[in-house]
Structures are given as structure tokens and as C-alpha cells.
Structure 1
């Protein structure tokens, strides 16, 4: 789709800027909607134009439905978006010297997740609280925990805490103003729904242990603690506490146009087994699957880290099913219950035997349980197949052209779990969607894999060896937490009922 606005500019010294009055409307309703634009010049370089009311970040900007852009004469290409439930509008225009042009662009919704009970959130946002209302509207995002305290940074040091700490904005959107992050040598934990920041400002790189702050957070019954990425070094330590609420499987190393192809200072992947660009995503997913293989019922989550990384707000998002209505408390409760889909691309709405993700199916020894998935799928980009992941292994790849309206059933004759995922073809990044897991328990017991429990035990041992021995008192306090975690994983190895 190409849109020509004005005439081609003359390449003259001192040519003045042109102005473009741009309006964006919903195609169905005709109403103005906030939007995000990625604008590039003829050399393919991102352009952040002048304009009142623009909120800019890295290679894009957002605006509230109507804006006057001031641009140097020239040729421009654009991509226009309103979150992943609308089709991307692409086009080009020419800006002429001193020209003033008006253009209205329509954006078309192709799926309405909220209408089907799914409400979107991004658990990892580093943007200014002053901008968040516009950003949420531009991205059609419903839940936004904004990181306002993070290691030594604390927005509330010289100002009163907001009251309430969670605000409901117009359009059924919720902002948690008191979200925080503890990001140090062991990795990053995200804290949601707290009444005040945790006292982490004086924490050192390794000490005190992040478990200390995890336990502090959990003194508040409504608090939610998220493992920001699966490959952080302290993941086995955190999982062993039994106090983790979710794990960021669609995380901030997955960017809109490329990946951050490393594990930061976390546990590195085998790049031969997990080559780029998909390797950084698949490694994280496999770690998450190991946790599920240990009988842990932890839902996946998603976060973009906009404000630190180039992602727009809500690029990586988790959809939580709460039905016709939502509240922040209900959204977090259903996130913890696993009624989720995580995505940065495909739109999945799954059920299995009529039930949402997070459901537990019970069986008895000698029986075979037959589970029938159904799935609604909406796409902006092509995917070739869906995958069934059962007990950590891809057991079925289903080409979309072969589905013909019905997915194959999946059978269990012993405890385990499964989920459905879709990965879009992209040469530079990873666009994927994954349902929360469904659990199967025979005789009331989960499946516990000896291999997966040993995986975390070995990892924990490797991490403990990296701890500095000084200061001695802090080392002793922290190593005590590691011993508790060691006992937890050893017990799982001993109690395993599956290879």
C-alpha cells in the first residue's frame, strides 16, 4: 500500500521543512486512535520528526490520533501500528519544501482479544509514568506495571508514594505505579502489586541474596514476583523457594526487528544446539520446560523492557483470560492460575476439552486420557505450523493447511503436561506465541523428571561456585539459601517418577 503526499522535494540548499497533518482512525468506527509510527528516510535510516505531542523512543514515536509532523523535504517510508490486534499499515510519502499537507490513515482491527475475554499486559516497562497513558492507548495495552524503582534508582525518593498505587485509566486500563526490579549478578526479578519499594538501593552485586528481597515481597499476600528471563543464574535458587508466580518466556531479548543474541550475564546456551536468531528464544523455552518437568506449575509471562531496549511498550505481551470484565487483582490472579497466552506475534485463543490453559486433568493408573485441543488463530505474518510440546519435547508439528478446522487429539497414559506454540518465519528475529501449559496428573501426582531435576541441581552447584567468599558474613548467609535449594533439587531427583 502506497500513499503519496505532496510532490517530490527539490534538492536546494536551505529548503525549509514541510508540514504533514496526520490523522489516524479506526477503519470500522472512524474514530481517532493513538498509534505508533516507524518512519525512515530514503537511506533507510529511522527518523524522529518534530511535532507537538510526540512521544519518541529509539526508532519510533507515538501520538494521540492527530499530529503535525515537521520534516525536511524528501522521501519517507512508514509503518503504522496500533498494537498486534490491528494490521500494520505501510506506505510512503514525499515532503516538499514549505508544503502543508493533510492525510487520514485507517487502521484495521483483525482480531479482538478483549471481546473473547483475553486482556493484554506487559510485565516489564521502563518508560516515564508521565507517558504511560498515551503509550498504553497507542499499543492497545490493558495492564502496565511501570518499573519506578530499580537497583539504585527510585522515583519515590523525593516524592510521596502515589495513592492508590494502582490506577484505573479510561478504556479499562490499569497502571501499577509501584512495580520494581532487582537486577544484579544472579539476574532480575520483577515485583508487582507492592505498597512500597523494597529496600534494594544499597544492595551489592551479589549480596544480599535476591532471595532476601523475594521473601520481603512475599510478606505482602497480593504481591506478584516474576522471573524476568529463564536463563538468569539464580533461577534454580528462586524456583526452589516455591514463591515464584510466573516466568518471562517471551522476554526482552526478543526485539521487533532483531534479537539481542546473547544471555547477558546469565547461563549461556550451546550455540550449536541453539543457533541464531531463534536460539535465544528456544533456550529460554527449554529451561522453562525443565521447570514444568519438575512438577512446578508456573505460568509463562512476557515483557518488553521498553525504555531500556528498543522495543515498543507491549511488543512482548501476555494475554490473561478474565472474561467480560477485568481488574488488576483479577488479572494477576488469573495470570498465576495459568490462564494465559504469551506472544509477540500470532494471536492464539486455546481451549482443551473446553477448558482454558492452566487446567489440570486427572486420571488413574491404567487409563488413557484423550485431550482435544481447539484453537482460534489470527495472524499478521505467515506461520507454517503449530507445535504440540509434551513434557518438554515437540511431539507433533501440524501444518496449517492440513488442519481443516480440527486439531488432532493428544493422549496421556501417565502424568505430564503439554502446550501449543506457533513460531512465525522471520530472518532476523523470533515472532512466536505459546499457550500456558495444561497439566495431567495420574493418581494425584505430577510428573517429575530426574533429568530435569538434575539439570537444575547441576546449575545451582555451578552458580554457587561463582559466589565471592568475601564479605564472609554475607557469603555465609547466602550460601545457606543455596543449601536449602540444593536439598530441594536433591529431593526431586530422589523422588522422580520419570527419566
Structure 2
């Protein structure tokens, strides 16, 4: 009887402790609204306790350090101090806040998010070309990030999310009236780098691919023949970039990629071509290296659109952190968006919002003149920023030729200095923030100038890629001589192509 009394007393203490613990838990309700319309809007929430540990709701889409909701969420949290950041893509001002939860308390917060700029009202629609999140979560993720185009990568070399699931009747799905998701994008991710395959009609089995064999061209060539497919080089510094450019089969290249993250940089080139850290030092070095390579591509006469991807689901970025805005005007549709991306009617950004025009034209336009004539290009720009931007930059043929302080830009009413071209070339506009943790910027796609019917082809830029290919070939080491020969033949053909470009060079 004595021992029974002790057991009952112990159970009573456990029960009391449980009730006390439950009573300690507090409840906070968040409702997120548009500051003008007062309508509830989906959003992303970052919520941390006083130790820096993030709060993870049990039922909402969560990744890394954040979750999304439809604009209303109830959270149960222990007593303590909390801080939060609430976002809805770059077009809304970030809301910072904090609260103290007392034992058993109930709190309620209505969070107004202020819209900085509505890019879609001006014909610019956003997309993210590298998404690896769960398909079922994509509609809410798109709404919470105010994203219009979301191709979802569901198959790659060692993974196929459809292996044990029936393929959807249509891979293209509409989310609300003007938002589109596609669930059959794929990736070939091996030693030469990563190619992203979008608008795919079916899954392609690439599971036989090993580190070097077969060549990425083994899959690229037949996929390129599929109607409507869009092929993106995921990062500029991948070893096979010169090979893919030479093939003429790629449509865009990830100028803003997953090494650029929300609060930090992946400050290396992974298994790609390493940068010279003396030329490109520090936190921003990797991002600057990507730009340098892209500018070299443009300097060889190739016109390939810049793109952007976040790799949410692989690295810590939210969906849409790196995004590409494509100008569609009043003709926005799924197909128009991809066609205009390919044409370079784009701005890529992970922060600043810009709407650039040059002589009244959007990026990707080709200005022409007869031999012996010159052209003056006059840029106008609408700009909205959250991080501080001190200068706007005009980049011409890979070099910054104008640094325009923001106060001077404002005094000029959004007009930038004119740029005179006496020979063929290209220019773009760039806004780089002062963020010290990551490389946060916006860049227009290039505007092209063609005088006398010929493009600018730089001898030095072309030699850069010839040397790159030679270096790449030395890294391909296969035990099977036949496999080695099969892979190397693509590099040999690419080197021959680049030498023909070198023969056609007209500057440097």
C-alpha cells in the first residue's frame, strides 16, 4: 500500500507538470495584409527565439529558416523573446518586429506590408529557374513570394520524384489567373556542371550518367530537338560552359545563381572553374566572377540572356530570392514569358527593382547603323531599393564606363548619361547594393549595337574560352579508352568552333 501511494503521488506530479508545461505555452496570431488594400496576402515568415533557434510550424511549408502561410497563421510558442522578419518578394518592404511571450499569454499582430513597386502592372513578370521544393507546396510558395513563373525540377541524375507516382495529366498548371507552374523540369548535374531543362514534355532517364560519362552533350542533343524546351546553364563558371556555348543549344545562363544567398555567399566555385581570388576577392568575388565570364561570352559575339535561380530545396534560399523579370507588356502568357526570356528582355535581381529603357527599348534590343555611322544610346531607369545603393553603373563591352551617384540620378529625373557607339558592342545597367554579407544587385539584360552588319568579337575573350577548353580536357580522365575518346570528341569539336570565332574576331 505504501508503494502504491508513492506511485500515485509520482503520477500526480507528472500530470501536474504536464498541465503546467501546457499552461506555459503561449499563442500568437499573425495576420499579414497589404498596407493599402488591407486585404490579407500570403507571405514568408522568419521567426527566431532569443537563442537564435527558428520556429517551425508543424503543418506549413518550411525550408531552412522560414515558412510561408496564406496570410494568417496561429503559432504556439514557449515563453520568451522573439524576433521576426516578414517578406513577400522584393516588391514589398520587409517588416521587422519582435514580441515577448508571457506564460500562457495570447498575442495578436496585424502586419501591414507596404508595396514598393508593382512590376507586373508595368509588364514585368518574375520567375525563378531553379526550384527544388515539393510540388504540393509550390502554389502557396508562389503566392507568398509573388512569383509568376515556377518551373519545378523533379528529376535529375540519381533522383526522379515521379518514379513511384503517376505523372500529371498536364505538367503545366495554372496557379491563380496569372501564375504558372510546370512540374517536369530536370537537371543534368555532373562533373562538367549543371544544365537545367525546362518546359519538358516528359521525364528523360539520365540515371546511367557517371561523373564524366557520357558527355553532357549525349543528353543535350536529343533534348534540344524536343519542341519548345528551354535550356539554361545553371552557373557561368561550370567547366562545360564553353562547350555548351559552342553547341548553340542553350537559351540562357544563370548570372544570379544559388551561390548568391539571402544572408551569405557560397564564396567558392564548387567543382567549377575557380576564380583568381586576387582579382575577385572577398564576399563578392564569386558573384563578380560569374559576371566576368558572362561579359566574356557577350564579347565573343554570342547573345545569350542572363537568368536567375535560387535552388530553394537544395540550398537555404527562399523560392524567388534570385529572380528574373521578363518584359511581356500586355501579352503575358506562359509561352510569351519564355520566348521573351530567350530574347533577353530581362532584368535579373535579388534585391533592387529596375525597369530600364534605352532609346525607348527594353533589354535585348539590337540597335543598328551603317558602317561609318555612330549611335548614341540614352538610358532611362525606374529604380526602387531596400538595401542602400550608392551608384548606378553602365557597363559597356565588359567595363564600367559610368558610375552615377543615386542623388545625381534623381536630379536627372531618371535619365542616365548618353553612351556613344562608333563600333559594334553592347551595354547594360547595373545596381549593386552595399550589403556586406552577400552580393545583392540588379542587372538589366544587354542592349546590343551592331554597326555595319557585324557583331563585336573580341580576340582576347575568344582566347579566354579556348584556353578554358584546353584546361578542361586535361581534367577528363576515364579508365576506358573508348569512353575517353567519346567524351573528348565534343571538346575537340568545341575548340575547333572557338578557333573559327577567333578567326572572325574584329577587336583586340
Per-residue CA deviations over 1:281-326 (Å, capped at 9, x if unaligned) read: 0000000000000000000000000001000000000000111242
Rounded to whole Å, the distance in 1 between the matches of 2:345 and 2:430 is 15
Task: Name the counterpart of 2:459.
Answer: 450
Rounded to whole Å, the distance in 1 between the matches of 2:299 and 2:57 is 52
Task: Name the counterpart of 1:40.
Answer: 48
Q: Secondary structure at the match of 1:131?
A: helix
Matches within 5 A, 1:282-297: 282-297=288-303
Task: Name the counterpart of 1:27.
Answer: 35
Q: Secondary structure at the match of 2:296?
A: helix
- Offset, 1:162: 1.4
Q: Paired residue for 1:166, among 159, 169, 172?
A: 172
Rounded to whole Å, the distance in 1 between the matches of 2:53 and 2:232 is 33
**Quick check: 2:61–2:137 contact (8 Å CA) kept in 1?**
yes
Q: State how many pairs are aligned.
A: 486
Q: Secondary structure at the match of 1:366?
A: coil
Rounded to whole Å, the distance in 1 between the matches of 2:335 and 2:390 is 37
- Structure number with the higher helix fraction is 2
Rounded to whole Å, the distance in 2 between the matches of 1:455 and 1:125 is 32
Provide TM-score, normalisation by structure 2. Answer: 0.94
Q: Paired residue for 2:276, among 270, 289, 308?
A: 270
Q: Paired residue for 2:122, among 116, 123, 147?
A: 116
Rounded to whole Å, the distance in 1 between the matches of 2:503 and 2:33 is 60
**Quick check: 1:300–1:436 contact (8 Å CA) kept in 2?**
yes
2:232 is the counterpart of 1:223? no
Task: Name the counterpart of 1:343.
Answer: 349
Rounded to whole Å, the distance in 2 between the matches of 1:380 and 1:370 is 32
Rounded to whole Å, the distance in 2 between the matches of 1:262 and 1:479 is 27
Q: Secondary structure at the match of 1:190?
A: strand
Structure 1: stretches of 5+ with no match in the other structure? 1-12
RMSD of aligned residue pairs (Cα, Å): 1.3
- Offset, 1:376: 0.5
Task: Name the counterpart of 1:80.
Answer: 86
**Quick check: 2:122–2:329 contact (8 Å CA) kept in 1?**
yes
Rounded to whole Å, the distance in 2 between the matches of 1:211 and 1:72 is 55
2:476 is the counterpart of 1:467? yes
Q: Secondary structure at the match of 2:381?
A: strand
Task: Name the counterpart of 2:144.
Answer: 138
Task: Name the counterpart of 1:54.
Answer: 60
Instruction: Return the index of the structure with the highest Cα Rg.
Output: 2
Task: Name the counterpart of 2:307.
Answer: 301
- Offset, 1:163: 1.9
Structure 2: stretches of 5+ with no match in the other structure? 1-19
Q: Paired residue for 2:358, among 352, 358, 372?
A: 352
Q: Paired residue for 1:380, among 376, 386, 398?
A: 386
Q: Paired residue for 2:203, among 182, 197, 200?
A: 197
Per-residue CA deviations over 1:182-233 (Å, capped at 9, x if unaligned) read: 1100000000001112221111111111111111211112000000000000
- Offset, 1:16: 2.3
Q: Which runs of 4+ in 1 moved over 4 A?
A: none
Per-residue CA deviations over 1:358-404 (Å, capped at 9, x if unaligned) read: 00011122211011111100111210001111111111111111121
Q: Paired residue for 2:131, among 125, 128, 136?
A: 125
